[in-house]
């Protein structure tokens, strides 16, 4: 247990870098998708550059950070198995599972874009990017508030936050359309 706080610190550091990678990779997906409709040679130049950038981000930062965050998190559970019995941790595990699913879907999209297969619009990707934000908010509030959280208010809060993100997205889309971009 002497090293527990060091392991906890490393877990938090790699969770932060994992989320940073997830936030930025989807933003790069937006740029890659938008580059596909540019005229040549701009299209090819941008697509090649974005493929290099996404490759480096995905395999040098995002994947290693996700793996290390998981390893340090599991190490904390091994050293302190009582955490698994706490109600708020059970809910956190559910959000972590959603984060793994989100990461897996981002990996699928990454592979498709590396093969120049575009299945989603840039607007969809902007909205998709908010998935990680919702998970982050939920986990941070859950960990900080812990047992004092009123589950009903917590769920309502996450739903309201999600609605605000959707409304913000629609507002941003209207501004972009008005400005012709």
Tally of CB atoms within 10 A around 122: 18
92 marked ligand binding residue? yes
Is residue 41 packed enough to be buried (19+ CB in 10 Å), middle (13-18) or exposed (0-12)?
Answer: exposed
b/e code 49-68 from CB counts within 10 Å (16+ = b): ebbeebeebbeebbeebbeb
Cα–Cα distance for residue pair 12/1, rounded to 1 Å:
17
11 marked ligand binding residue? yes
Residue with tokens 């982050």: 136
Token digits of residue 176:
């972009």
* Eight-state DSSP code of residue 58: I
Binding residues: 11, 92
Binding residues for heme: 11, 92
């Amino acid at each position: 247990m002497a090293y527990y706080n060091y392991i906890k610190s490393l877990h938090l550091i790699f969770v932060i870098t994992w989320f940073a990678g997830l936030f930025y990779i989807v933003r790069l997906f937006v740029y890659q998708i938008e580059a596909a409709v540019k005229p040549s040679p701009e299209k090819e130049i941008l697509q090649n550059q974005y493929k290099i950038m996404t490759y480096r981000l995905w395999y040098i930062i995002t994947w290693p950070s996700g793996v290390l965050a998981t390893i340090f998190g599991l190490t904390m559970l091994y050293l302190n198995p009582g955490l698994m019995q706490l109600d708020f941790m059970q809910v956190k595990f559910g959000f972590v599972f959603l984060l793994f699913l989100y990461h897996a879907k981002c990996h699928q999209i990454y592979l498709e874009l590396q093969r120049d297969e575009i299945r989603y619009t840039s607007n969809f990707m902007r909205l998709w990017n908010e998935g990680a934000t919702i998970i982050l908010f939920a986990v941070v509030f859950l960990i900080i508030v812990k047992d004092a959280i009123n589950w009903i208010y917590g769920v309502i809060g996450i739903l309201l936050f999600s609605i605000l993100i959707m409304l913000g997205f629609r507002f941003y889309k209207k501004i972009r359309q008005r400005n012709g971009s």
